[in-house]
Amino acid sequence: MDVRSILVPTDFSECARRAVPVAAELARLLGARVVCLHVVEPVVRPVGWTPAAEPMHAAELGERMEETAARDLPAFSKSEEFAGLEVEDVMVHGEPAAEIVRVAEERGAGLIVVSSHGRTGLGRILFGSTAESVVRHARCPVLVVKPGKGSDGD
């Protein structure tokens, strides 16, 4: 297996942070670079939502989400686990699973290291599983880091 680049998607949650030490250790062992990816999801208004009831316009909310990501992504990729590694920050817009797969192909990732929220039952049905979709559609191997013991499956 020739892995020169490892893609690490993040939503900046504690769950996503669980993938960092795994990705960093693999990058060191394989001599690979790391690509930290954040996908800014589109802001969707619920059915029946009116502009008068909207506390913040969708465009403004989208801008704030992008500003937050632009601030948080460099902090994520500069975590001490990644010290001494070549790390690239990438921020894109779209549906997370599809964008993770697309960026992995575009950046020539030989491995994707993604965390799983560990949802089961109704939570999984309602929210879907980004990790599961990435596993199904990625052309490269995907390592899913599962929630640790005592995790509440956030």
**Comparing 5 with 53, which gets the higher pLDDT?**
5
pTM over 0.85: no
Q: What is the pLDDT of residue 9?
A: 96
> Could you tell me the domains of the chain?
5-44+56-145 (3.40.50.620)
Conformation bin of residue 47: beta by default, left when phi > 0, alpha when psi is -120 to 50: beta
Average pLDDT over residues 123-146: 81
Average pLDDT over residues 105-126: 76
Distance CA 78, CA 100 (A): 20
Task: Give the torsion sign (CA, 130, 85, 76, 74).
Answer: negative
Q: What is the pLDDT of residue 125?
A: 46
Distance CA 117, CA 43 (A): 21
Distance CA 67, CA 125 (A): 30
Residue 45 pLDDT exceeds 70: no
Q: What is the pLDDT of residue 65?
A: 80
Q: What is the pLDDT of residue 63?
A: 80
Residue 31 pLDDT exceeds 70: yes
Q: Percent of the chain at pLDDT above 70?
A: 77
Residue 152 pLDDT exceeds 70: no
pLDDT tens-digit series, residues 46-98 = 555 555 555 556 667 778 888 888 888 888 889 999 999 999 999 999 999 99
SS3 of 43, please? Answer: coil
Region of poorest pLDDT, from 33-37, 47-51, 94-98, 100-104 = 47-51
